[in-house]
Structure 1
Amino acid sequence: MINIFQPSVGVEELELIKDIFKSNWIGLGSKTNELEEQLSSKLDVSSENVTLTNSCSEAIFQVFEYIDFIIGEEVILPSMSFLGAGNAILEVGATPVFCEVDERTLNPSVEDIESKISPKTKAVFITHYGGLPCDIDGIVKLCDKYNLILIEDSAGSPFSKYKGKNVGIFGDFGVWSFDPLKVMTMGDGGLIYSKSRYDMIKLREQRYLGLKSSTGFSNKIDKKWWEFEISTHGRRSIVNDLSSSLGLEQLKKVDKFIERRKEISCFYDENISKLSWLKIPPKFPDYVESSYYFYWIQVEKNRDELANYLKENEIYTTFRYYPLHLLDYYKEFKTDLPITKKVMMNTLLLPIHQSLTDDDIAKVVKTIKKFGKENEL
């Protein structure tokens, strides 16, 4: 089976993990600190503005819990968002207000976000779809105009750039994912960015049981080192050095990973763009750099048949993200989003990851063309 997503790990990662075992310490420690330093350096921010968590889902929950919502305050987000975002909003007693996406980029519509703003709106949560940066200028301007908190979901957009600046650091908070299906992996893990260093101090405490950094959070040997204080009733969301050592090696390779993904994306563009019955992703503006996490096609008819045909030929595809407003659990927040509904019915993600061979992607293209010919499309 040609997988749509797949991690790329090798002997280098294994050697680092061996070193961790030899150290007799596999919990939160120096490797995690080192990874935070290196990630922040690559993002071009201070390490005092970031913290690692055990997953991106947990990072999202931590951010929403920290913001301190009043019950009933609203968060605007695309219905085509990761489920964890909607769940985190509900967890803190806030109300999700779902907005439309652009039909081609699948990023949130600035115009529709503005149309959804009300006196109860407190925050905007955006997703950089598949590694393609949103219209950041428009969204930041909107949030500044209405004094709204901006949270960026950069889970699949590590080191994607908008006008030379990494996405995820334009807003008040940003989150990234390093799970097994992402561009780089820690096995599982996430990262939080906060524009405010004070907020990051508090977030660091919150993600480790609320332990104050001056007490149990620190490795410093005090007179009575077993004593501690807490600033809040946080959860244990820290990362261990096993995961961080994996992340350190992946970070060395991530530029090559993204370059290979770009090659695959260009191959698809060149070989299926002339098929009249489907659309490829839109051409990116010159000021945008993508991580190429997703490659999507849009098929007005026969999308499901194509997906099944590819699966029968050992090629796995999918659609992300299933609209939250269509879930039974979210039925009280149901709204009319015709563009989102259309996108849900015509969009398909093709395999794209750095472990794909040239033969793999040639097979994907050949099978798509064969489907079109057999169905007289």
Structure 2
Amino acid sequence: MINVFQPALGPDELAAVASVFEDSWPGLGERTTAFEAAFAEHLGVDPRTVLFVNSATAGLFLAVEVLGLGPGDEVVLPSVSFVGAANAVCSAGARAVFCDVDPRTLNPTAEDVERALTDRTRAVMLLHYGGLPGDVERIAAMCEARGVRLVEDAACAVASRVGERACGTFGDVAVWSFDAMKVLSTGDGGMVVVRDPDAADRARRLAYHGLRHQSGMSASRSVSRRWWELDVEAFGRRVVGNDLTAAIGLVQLRRLPQFVARRREIASFYDRALSGVEGLEGPPPVPEGHTSSHYFHWVRLEPGERDRVAADLLERGVYTTFRYAPLHRVPAYGAQGVRLPGAEEAAERTLLLPQHQGLSDGDVKHVAEELVSSVTGRPEAKGGRP
């Protein structure tokens, strides 16, 4: 079976894990700090504002807490988004207000976001769908002008940029995912950037039980004569990362440029092989000046055809899917009766093809040929070599 997502792990990652075993310390330590510093350099931000956590979902919950969102507050987010984003908002007692998306890019425009704003809006939580930066510049400017906080859910956008500026550096808080399906994978894990250094310090404390200082050997020479005593400033949790996963992350970050380059090759091949096929539409081109992480590659089919083609491909050994199901249709979020035609169209027509750096040229050609065959009944696909 050719999978949609798959990490690329090898001997360098294994050697990094072995070195952690040799040091007999898999917990939070020097490698975690080194990974945070390396990721800060990747983004071009102050390393003091970067925090490695155990998942992007934990990072989203942390973002909501750091921004002080709660009952009476509204948070606007695209309906085509991950369930963890809405859960983070609603678990704090705030209200998730879903905005529409462009049915081809699956990202919201500034106008989509603006239509959802009210005088109760405290924040916007923006996803970069499939690694496309989207309308982030205009949305960030609009949020700043209105005094609304911006959270960037950059889970799909680890190498995405607008010009020279990295996705995740436009908002007040940003979150990345390093789970087993992502471009850069640590198995589980995520990164949080909080632009304001004081708020970043608070986020770091909340991520480790709300302690002002961590107890233990690291504090024994810097805190007090009784370093084991506790100073709890807030009721936090333990969502920090560790040296075992950070060691993998350091290797993956060094390999990230080659990962993205391979994904770009695969996306270009799909575009060539599938262009002009009746009943099949590829994703829009990446806009001039934008850089995509190429996390997803999707096609659009007629609504009645999408599910048939997905089932047909599964029988042919090609796994496809759709992410993310529109959240305004989920009863738990209380948005029944809301109509968002762009998100609804995307949910009926979009199909994600296998897209990861572990795909061989033969895999990619097979996916394209089977897709063309399923859609048209013809076995051939164009495009040459990936």
Instruction: Classify the TM-score, shorter chain.
Output: over 0.9
Kept after mapping to 2: 8 A contact 1:97/1:333:
no
* Unpaired segments ≥5 residues, structure 1: none
Q: Which one of 282, 294, 297 corresponds to residue 296 of structure 2? A: 294
Is 1:307 aligned to 2:294, yes or no?
Answer: no
Distance 2:201 2:52 in 1: 13
Per-residue CA distance 1:229-269 (angstroms, 9 max, x = gap): 01101000011111110111111111100000000000000
Aligned partner of 1:352: which letter?
Q
Kept after mapping to 2: 8 A contact 1:216/1:229:
no
- Could you say which residue in structure 2 is the equivalent of 1:29? 29
**1:273 Cα deviation from its structure 2 partner:** 1.2
Please show how residues 313-324 of structure 1 align to structure 2 within 5 Å: 313-324=316-327
How many residue pairs get aligned? The number is 376
Distance 1:217 1:183 in 2: 35
Seen in structure 2, the aligned counterparts of structure 1 residues 296 and 31 have a Cα distance that, compared at 3 Å, is: same
Per-residue CA distance 1:18-59 (angstroms, 9 max, x = gap): 111111111000000000010000111110111010000000
- RMSD over aligned Cα atoms: 1.5
- Could you say which residue in structure 2 is the equivalent of 1:327? 330
Is 1:224 aligned to 2:226, yes or no?
Answer: yes
Kept after mapping to 1: 8 A contact 2:372/2:378:
no
Give TM-score scaled by structure 2 length: 0.95
**1:334 Cα deviation from its structure 2 partner:** 4.5
Kept after mapping to 2: 8 A contact 1:307/1:348:
yes
Is 1:355 aligned to 2:358, yes or no?
Answer: yes
Kept after mapping to 2: 8 A contact 1:208/1:217:
no
Aligned partner of 2:251: which letter?
E
Distance 2:241 2:308 in 1: 42
Aligned partner of 2:255: which letter?
K
Per-residue CA distance 1:54-102 (angstroms, 9 max, x = gap): 0000000011112112412100000111100000111111001100001
**1:276 Cα deviation from its structure 2 partner:** 2.2
Kept after mapping to 2: 8 A contact 1:162/1:287:
yes
**1:325 Cα deviation from its structure 2 partner:** 1.1
Aligned partner of 1:288: which letter?
H
- Could you say which residue in structure 2 is the equivalent of 1:238? 240
Kept after mapping to 2: 8 A contact 1:131/1:292:
yes
Aligned partner of 1:344: which letter?
A
**1:137 Cα deviation from its structure 2 partner:** 2.0
Distance 1:138 1:37 in 2: 29
- Could you say which residue in structure 2 is the equivalent of 1:254? 256
**1:220 Cα deviation from its structure 2 partner:** 4.1
**1:373 Cα deviation from its structure 2 partner:** 2.6
- Could you say which residue in structure 2 is the equivalent of 1:340? 343
- Could you say which residue in structure 2 is the equivalent of 1:140? 140
**1:228 Cα deviation from its structure 2 partner:** 2.1
Q: Structure 1 stretches (4+) deviating beyond 4 angstroms?
A: 214-218
Aligned partner of 1:321: which letter?
Y
Aligned partner of 2:305: which letter?
N
**1:167 Cα deviation from its structure 2 partner:** 0.2
- Could you say which residue in structure 2 is the equivalent of 1:106? 106
Is 1:369 aligned to 2:361, yes or no?
Answer: no
* Unpaired segments ≥5 residues, structure 2: 380-386
Kept after mapping to 1: 8 A contact 2:90/2:333:
no
The 3-state SS of whatever aligns with 1:279 is: coil
